[in-house]
């Protein structure tokens, strides 16, 4: 059973478009991280959200943690080719000592 489902699985858009990636679960998470990973490289941390309803902005990226801490979203404004990569959400639950990774969203931004 996959605890964190991401949607869409794959997204191909043109430069300048906006997009939203969703990370959903039926479980409550103490915190949730978003990572971006390029092929052959390790995941790079983008943000950690810990409070229900929290919104964090990182330049053109906006992250939101659901009020019930069961879901999160990542919105990218005016996507650029440099945003291309695998986006992973990962959450920790108070009842488990390991991080739960989402299924991943592959984003491709073309010129």
Partner 1 sequence: DTEVTQTPKHLVMGMTNKKSLKCEQHMGHRAMYWYKQKAKKPPELMFVYSYEKLSINESVPSRFSPECPNSSLLNLHLHALQPEDSALYLCASSQDEGRETQYFGPGTRLLVL
Instruction: State the residues that interact with partner 1 by CB under 8 A.
Output: 30-31, 33, 35, 40-45, 48, 86, 88, 90, 92, 94, 96-99, 101-104, 106
For the chain, percent helix, then strand, then coil, each to nearest 5? 5, 55, 45
What phi and psi, each to the nearest 5 degrees, are found at residue 62? -125, 125
Which residue's CB is nearer to partner 1, number 62 or number 92? 92
Least CB distance from residue 14 to partner 1, whole Å?
Answer: 22
Q: Taken in order 39, 4, 76, 31, is the CA torsion positive or negative?
A: negative
Which residue's CB is nearer to partner 1, number 15 or number 46? 46
Least CB distance from residue 105 to partner 1, whole Å?
Answer: 11
- The residues near 39 (Cβ < 8 Å, ≥ 6 apart) are none
Least CB distance from residue 40 to partner 1, whole Å?
Answer: 6
């Amino acid at each position: 059973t996959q605890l964190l489902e991401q949607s869409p699985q794959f997204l191909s858009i043109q430069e300048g478009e906006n997009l939203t990636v969703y990370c959903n679960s039926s479980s409550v998470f103490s915190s949730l991280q978003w990572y971006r990973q390029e092929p052959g490289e390790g995941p790079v941390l983008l943000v950690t959200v810990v409070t229900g309803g929290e919104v964090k902005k990182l330049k053109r990226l906006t992250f939101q943690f659901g009020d019930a801490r069961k879901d999160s979203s990542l919105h990218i404004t005016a996507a650029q080719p440099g945003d291309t990569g695998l986006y992973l959400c990962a959450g920790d639950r108070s009842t488990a000592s390991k991080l739960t990774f989402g299924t991943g969203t592959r984003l491709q931004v073309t010129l």
